[in-house]
Amino acid sequence: MSNVKKEDFDVKGFYGEDCVLDAEEFKKKYKVSDKGISSSKAAENIKNLGLNQIKQSKPKKWYNYFFASLFSPFNSILLGISFILIYTDIILPEHPSPANIIVIAVLIIVSTLLEFIEEFRSNNAAQKLKELVETTATVIRDGKKKKIPLKEVTLGDTVILSAGDMIPADIRLIESKDLYVGQSSITGESDAVRKLTNTEIKSIDDIESITDLDTICFMGTNVISGSAKAIVIKTGDNTYFGKVARTLTQGKPKTSFQKGIESISKLLIRFMIVLIPIIFILNAWKHNTILAFTFAVAIAITITPLLLPVILSSCLSKGAVRMSKKKTIVKKLDSIQNFGAMNILCTDKTGTLTEDKIVLEKYLDVYGNEDIRVLKHAFLNSYFQTGLKGSIDEAVINRALKSELGSLVDEFKKVDEIPFDFSRRRLSVIVENNNEKLLITKGAVEEILSICNTIDYNHELMPITKEVKENIRNIANKLNEEGLRVVAVCQKKNINNIDVFSVKDESQMSLVGFIGFLDPPKESAKLAIEKLNNSGIRVIVLTGDNAAVTKCICKKVNINTKKIVTGSQIDKLADVGVLRLLKKSNVFVKLSPIQKARIVRLLKESGNIVGYMGDGINDAPSLTNSDVGVSVDTAVDIAKETADIILLEKDLNVLLDGVTERKTYFCKSYEIYKNGCKL
């Protein structure tokens, strides 16, 4: 979207006043409430304003498909030939003969109808399949939270946002906590943008561009981290996304399949342009001009592959329907060929190679001894955080409830939160008990160590010396080697004087201990990877997890772990150096979303057809960069929206079935074409 030509747009007129108004003043002016609107009011708004859809993204009408089929490249050639025949067979001769024109007209009609029927039917099927994994938004209706499809979001709705959510419409924030939004699709900004409840802009005159609007989020962008509550101010074509969509000059890049068909078509047309005049000239010497011209036109008809577009669209649509029976939903028909042609599959570890049923196995103090106090701290952090609750949080909560720690919820009251983000790799909550505030943080071991200056052992604080730090790392590494994923937990007291908390308060903390999670490898993963390799598909693991845990899992599923590359190594190398590593290694660890996307890009540029399988917020850039993005129906909204293909189960065997189905079906289709449609 950053490559579009944007029309003149009055940013101040559209958003200026809403942006600079205080949140409370905004609610008073528009008479809106953070308790949401009623269902009847929402229905009335939808009736008056229409669904929350962009014109360009709405399903096409039947006539769009019909005219596209009628004026396809090959049909256009036949139409041109028909006009010539009207002159040569009807106007010039004494005894007009419409036979040739009738034959060509029948061919055009049959070709058009066949292609139209298949295209219309296949796109309808794809639309129905897409609706099975429709993206939703959380709104407050009738005073209650509920999930609704994005298209049903309407003016005045109160939207609840957390990490991973798509922004469903243009919205004005009325509450926010460390909210960062990815809006590269709108503005081209690669970094996440901070959004606020009340603006830092001094006056409306200081607004120069869309990037200055710090209290407004735009449809089509997504939440990177933080949480918020907002009011919908514009929907559908009235949004900034809708305005920009009208001036799109670039569509989706053509797939290798489309390029191949296009090159064949151009070759045939060039062949006709060269051959037909030669045939006409050679025959004009021996026969009359009209007869020679008619013969040349007949040759043009003969070498035009009339049914090629029909066969292609038929194969794609039927392939999509057959793949859906294999629990593989095709969102974009053109991606089917790449899906079957891919020779490299990049995938995350969690949930794909592992069961994604994380269980909290250990809670240890700073010396590696079991300590229920560590579990208590982790439980308070996981229970009270309001962001995107992952499998780790669920595992902590489940284990704490089994250990009868549920009463802690009544003893403590949540004060504030510092949400998770992918740069800090940690999350903090501030709770209060007996008028004493306590900041509890959990996150990756190295990131937690970087903000701690003491350890808390048996309620006694001791400084973190070089020896202590080394011992902590050894404990974490030992747990990793056992296949456990390790998260560190720390705390900070004496913070009663702080009213509003931020990332800067995550400092000078005390390390309490570790929690270790076990996510065993799937029994089916080893065989699935073996079959993928036998099918000519190389599996590369790209994960944000550490080397020890990843190595343990990859060994169990028979992925070569002799050479493991870290994200920090990649950052130090030019593209050529990274490509050399890609030839030798199948496992890349401690990767950021940008590093994952870079690897996918380099694999593509080196001539591979690259598939990427992911389901998280951090997978969105890689899903976009790949030739075919694969996600699952349980993925976060941004991942589902970005993917080309959705699996109804997060299992490599389901993906393998889809690839095999595509290869088998298209091989049969090719044989039919080769044997039944010879020129």
Q: Among all residues, which ones are annotated catalytic?
A: 348
Taking the C-alpha atoms of residue 664 and residue 652, their distance in angstroms, rounded to an integer, is: 18
Taking the C-alpha atoms of residue 307 and residue 314, their distance in angstroms, rounded to an integer, is: 10
CA 17 to mean position of chain CA atoms: 33
Q: H/E element holding 417?
A: strand 413-418
Q: At what angle do helices 99-131 and 308-324 cross, to 10 degrees?
A: 20
Comparing CA positions, the residue from 661, 419, 90, 210 lying closest to residue 669 is: 661
| Secondary structure string (H, E, C) spanning 464-522 | CCHHHHHHHHHHHHHHHHCCEEEEEEEEECCCCCCCCCCHHHCCCEEEEEEEEEECCEC
Taking the C-alpha atoms of residue 382 and residue 363, their distance in angstroms, rounded to an integer, is: 14
Say if CB 629 and CB 621 are below 8 A apart. no
Classify 348 in phi/psi space as left (phi over 0), alpha (psi -120 to 50) or beta: beta
SS3 196: coil
Q: Residue 619 is encoded by which pair of tokens?
A: 């997978």
Comparing CA positions, the residue from 156, 191, 160 lying closest to residue 175 is: 160
Say if CB 192 and CB 180 are below 8 A apart. yes
Residues with Cβ < 8 Å from 278, sequence gap 6 or more? none
φ/ψ (deg, to 5) at 55? -55, -45
